[in-house]
């Protein structure tokens, strides 16, 4: 069954008492709630150098008191878990988890006819054009980009964990001092200056669970996630030069910077009808068009809880092929 859990934690103003957290979920005491509110969302997680829109979520059927005080949620922290819970044959609860974490940038209510909705616009970083930071990159001559990034992120984002997996070859022959005010500006600068040393350069991204990752596809920590044929919705396809896109049932166990292995097919599984060479078009339905290892560049979570279409509760991945072993 489809599963979501939305937790909004107010951020108190200086000297004030924090408000009570608000929670909406489809799972109550481990059981699927048939009366769970309908939610619609479109979440983005991508490398900072790629221009992406902000994530949005709409909660339908909220009480009137929450609707009238919608502005109170602006500035609050929000954590959303999603995926599938037990109940359907192919559902895999192990793949559910945190799919979005950030700050509510805008909050507003709407009432049209008998429909009442609460809408959030969410940003992954605490620094925006409206709330700029003073992020300083102090990259000294002869030192690695990894150490310079670690120092920058430690000061600008002290509450965030760091996962830096980049080549030690990113070293300059001169000092560089650069100041930016948002994470996107930082990511663009790092991508540009690192690509001038070694292509394709270094990407950085704000991930879930307050984590910032930096990677260039040269170092892999941990294993790649093996995809199953039954995870996919449709066939993968090329959408750009060296960029592949594929859909899966909504899942939270793959993030930007993760590696995935494409499924090899279903021929050896019980219950699958084997075919002869003469039935080649039929056999092709049980394998993907792509094989090998890919690095995830962006993740998009698309949800409409009560829509019956399979693509209304899905995850969209953009990946690039890798030769890392």
Q: Write out pLDDT tens, residues 84-106.
A: 998 888 889 999 999 999 889 89
Looking at per-residue pLDDT, the higher value among 292 and 312 belongs to 312
Rounded distance, CA 214 to CA 201, Å? 10
Structure token digits, residue 236: 């993968």
Indicate if 315 and 239 belong to the same structural domain.
yes
**Is residue 288's pLDDT more than 60?**
no
- Torsions phi, psi of 85, nearest 5? -105, 170
**Which tens digits make up the pLDDT trace of 107-133?**
999 988 888 999 999 988 777 777 788
Q: Mean pLDDT over all residues of the chain?
A: 85
Q: Which of 231, 258, 250 is nearest to 81 (CA)?
A: 250
Among candidate residues 102, 123, 144, the one where a domain is terminated: 123
Indicate if 89 and 145 belong to the same structural domain.
no
Indicate if 70 and 173 belong to the same structural domain.
no
In the predicted model, what is the mean pLDDT of residues 295-305? 94
Strand, helix or coil for residue 190: helix
Among candidate residues 92, 123, 154, the one where a domain is terminated: 123
Residue whose token pair is 């000061």: 155
**The predicted structure's pLDDT at residue 270:** 44
Count up the domains in the chain and report the number. 3
Q: Which structural domain range is residue 116 located in?
A: 2-123
Indicate if 260 and 154 belong to the same structural domain.
no
Indicate if 115 and 146 belong to the same structural domain.
no
Structure token digits, residue 103: 């700050």
Indicate if 143 and 208 belong to the same structural domain.
yes
Q: Which of 205, 201, 76 is nearest to 153 (CA)?
A: 205
Residue 130 lies inside a defined structural domain of this protein: no
Indicate if 8 and 114 belong to the same structural domain.
yes
Consecutive H or E run containing 165:
strand 161-165
Among candidate residues 175, 194, 215, the one where a domain is terminated: 215
Q: DSSP of 202-215, one letter per residue? A: -EEEEETTTEEEEE
**The predicted structure's pLDDT at residue 221:** 72
Indicate if 106 and 167 belong to the same structural domain.
no
**The predicted structure's pLDDT at residue 170:** 93
Residue 128 lies inside a defined structural domain of this protein: no
Indicate if 68 and 173 belong to the same structural domain.
no
Residue 154 lies inside a defined structural domain of this protein: yes
Residue 129 lies inside a defined structural domain of this protein: no
Residue 194 lies inside a defined structural domain of this protein: yes
Rounded distance, CA 70 to CA 183, Å? 27
- Torsions phi, psi of 11, nearest 5? -100, 110
Indicate if 8 and 119 belong to the same structural domain.
yes
**Is residue 324's pLDDT more than 50?**
no
Q: What is the pTM of this model?
A: 0.83
Indicate if 34 and 113 belong to the same structural domain.
yes
**Which tens digits make up the pLDDT trace of 217-272?**
887 777 789 998 889 998 889 988 889 999 999 999 999 989 999 887 654 444 44
Indicate if 9 and 71 belong to the same structural domain.
yes
Rounded distance, CA 183 to CA 63, Å? 36
């Amino acid at each position: 069954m489809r599963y979501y859990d939305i937790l909004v934690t107010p951020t108190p103003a200086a000297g004030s008492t924090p408000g009570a957290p608000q929670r909406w979920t489809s799972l109550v005491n481990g059981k699927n709630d048939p009366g769970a509110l309908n939610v619609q969302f479109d979440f983005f997680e991508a490398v900072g150098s790629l221009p992406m829109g902000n994530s949005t979520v709409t909660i339908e059927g909220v009480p009137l008191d929450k609707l009238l005080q919608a502005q109170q949620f602006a500035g609050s922290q929000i954590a959303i878990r999603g995926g599938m819970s037990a109940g359907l044959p192919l559902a895999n609860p192990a793949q559910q988890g945190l799919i979005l974490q950030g700050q509510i940038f805008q909050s507003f209510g709407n009432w049209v006819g008998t429909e009442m909705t609460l809408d959030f616009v969410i940003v992954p970083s605490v620094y925006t054009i409206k709330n700029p930071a003073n992020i300083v990159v102090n990259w000294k001559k002869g030192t690695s980009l990894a150490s310079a990034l670690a120092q920058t992120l430690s000061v600008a984002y002290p509450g965030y964990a760091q996962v830096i997996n980049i080549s030690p070859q990113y070293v300059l022959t001169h000092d560089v001092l650069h100041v930016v005010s948002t994470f996107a500006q930082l990511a663009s600068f790092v991508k540009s200056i690192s690509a001038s040393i070694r292509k394709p350069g270094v990407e950085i991204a704000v991930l879930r669970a307050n984590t910032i990752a930096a990677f260039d596809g040269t170092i892999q920590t941990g294993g790649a996630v093996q995809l199953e044929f039954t995870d996919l919705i449709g066939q993968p396809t090329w959408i750009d030069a060296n960029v592949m896109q594929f859909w899966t049932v909504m899942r939270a166990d793959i993030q930007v910077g993760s590696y995935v292995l494409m499924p090899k097919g279903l021929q050896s599984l019980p219950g699958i009808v084997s075919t002869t060479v003469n039935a080649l078009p039929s056999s092709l339905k049980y394998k993907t068009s792509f094989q090998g290892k890919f690095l995830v560049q962006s993740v998009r979570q698309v949800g409409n809880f009560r829509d019956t279409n399979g693509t209304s509760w899905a995850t969209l991945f953009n990946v690039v092929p890798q030769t890392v072993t």
